[in-house]
Amino acid sequence: MRLKITFQHESGVFLPYDYQYAIQEWIYRTLASADTELAMRLHDIGYPYDGKSFKLFSFGQWTGFPYVRKKDEGMWLNTTHSELKISFVLPEQLSTFVSGLFKDQRHTFFFKGGASIPVLTSQIEILPEPTFDDGTATYKIVTGARISVGAEGHEHPQYKGPEHKDYDYLFIQNLVNKHRSSLYHKGEETKEYVIGMQIFDPVKTQLVNVLKNGHFVNMRGYKFEFELTAPAEIHRTLYYAGAGEECSMGMGWVERNEN
């Protein structure tokens, strides 16, 4: 399920490009105001499957119009309202988050360098769910999707782009494991799936500066359009959980291309 949240704030506020960590912190804080245990479990453990852990939520770009860009730094929002979309796979996540929003509608986002934006949550809209069918659908990755894999001789996982020979497999495996983690959490059986994908040019890169284990790091993601052929339940998980890794940090937000 997806929410569209409208923030009210002063006109002319400055929004840095690396706002993602502040959004993530706010999401956890909002969840905690309604259910501390769920928020802590989601932050510390997530939903495990096959030795990995998934948060099963994602968020898109913070947008406001009109705006004026400041090269390499951010933008001035010359409007008193801006919007953010947030997506949850599990109903319990959504209901807890909405409850938290109604308890605390005011928040100040703090960014690196001392910038901040005080906001009032002025509107919460639950977006209608698309129809998910078995078969093929086309998607656009709006915020770069991150795929990495452990490599011999390297301390940290290595980023892989669509040019890598195993990229499709790694992308699909990540998606399937996300879906299975949600099934495992609900006590439902997992199963095998037949899935295929085709990536379309152009492919663009995006660096996202996020807070990871107490340190700010740049993560490289890739933006492109692609076709996914899969069962309806896999399409649904992609749409709500996002594509690739670190979706809870604002990476891998997808939109469906409607024909």
| Number of residues in the chain | 259
pLDDT of 244 > 80? The answer is yes
The number of domains in the chain is 2
Q: Are 109 and 156 in the same domain?
A: no
Q: Which of 94, 126, 158 is the last residue of a domain?
A: 126
Measured CA to CA, the distance from residue 250 to residue 177 in angstroms comes to 19
Give φ, ψ of 38 to 5 degrees. Answer: -60, -45
CATH number at 183 reads 3.30.70.1900
Q: 182 lies in which domain range? A: 135-256
Confidence of residue 259 (pLDDT cuts 50, 70, 90): low
For 106-141, how does the pLDDT look when each residue is reduced to its tens digit (9 = 90+)? 999 999 888 899 999 999 999 999 999 999 999 999
Q: Single out the residue of 163, 156, 141 nearest to residue 217, CA to CA.
A: 156
Measured CA to CA, the distance from residue 203 to residue 201 in angstroms comes to 5
* 199-226 burial: b if 16+ Cβ within 10 Å, else e: beeeeeebebbbbeeeeeeebbbbbbbb
pLDDT of 194 > 80? The answer is yes
> Given the DSSP bridges, would you call strands 52-54 and 135-141 parallel, antiparallel or unpaired?
unpaired
Q: Element (H or E) spanning 178, and its range? A: helix 167-186
Q: Which of 126, 147, 173 is the last residue of a domain?
A: 126
How much is the pTM?
Answer: 0.94
Sole residue written with tokens 């706002």: 19
Q: Which of 21-30, 39-48, 210-219, 223-232 has the lowest mean pLDDT?
A: 210-219
Q: Which of 109, 126, 143 is the last residue of a domain?
A: 126
HEC-encoded secondary structure of 184-209? HHHCCCCCCCCCEEEEEEEEEEEEEE
CATH number at 107 reads 3.30.70.1890
Sole residue written with tokens 């969840």: 31
Q: Are 61 and 140 in the same domain?
A: no
Measured CA to CA, the distance from residue 124 to residue 189 in angstroms comes to 34
Q: Are 114 and 79 in the same domain?
A: yes
Averaged pLDDT for residues 61-66:
97
For 85-115, how does the pLDDT look when each residue is reduced to its tens digit (9 = 90+)? 999 999 999 999 999 998 889 999 999 888 8
Measured CA to CA, the distance from residue 75 to residue 69 in angstroms comes to 4
